[in-house]
Amino acid sequence: MKQRCIVIALIYSGRPDPNWELSDEQYEYFLSYWNDAKVSGNEVKQSTVSGYRGTRLVTPEKSYLIYDQTITCFEKTERVSKKDEQRKMEIYLLNSAPAEIAVMLAKANVPK
């Protein structure tokens, strides 16, 4: 059974952020990277300025916040952070956006 995994590009304030669904294969690739990533002593620190503030991956059990070479996983009351070397997973998730959303991301100057 397919697990619903939603990617949200955090770019707007006051209106809904663009989001899209990952395929099972894309989510498995993300999980493989997550499992192999090195633990980080830092949690994701989101920018308070307007514009791009990171990417969120939401599943029924967990939520991941990815920004500035760090991934923080939120699961119930636990948090675990890992390194996202060279923004590999952040860029992977942003590049998984459908064409119409990719155009929105480009117009919002989302770094890839």
Residues 101 and 20 sit within 8 Å (Cβ to Cβ): yes
pLDDT recorded at residue 76: 85
In the chain, % helix, strand, coil (3-state, to 5) comes to: 30, 25, 45
Q: Could you tell me the pTM of the whole model? A: 0.91
pLDDT in tens, the chain (112 residues): 467 899 999 998 888 999 999 999 999 999 999 999 999 989 898 776 778 899 999 999 999 999 999 999 999 889 999 999 999 999 999 999 999 999 999 998 898 8
Q: Which residues contact 29 (CB under 8 A, 6 or more apart)?
A: 92
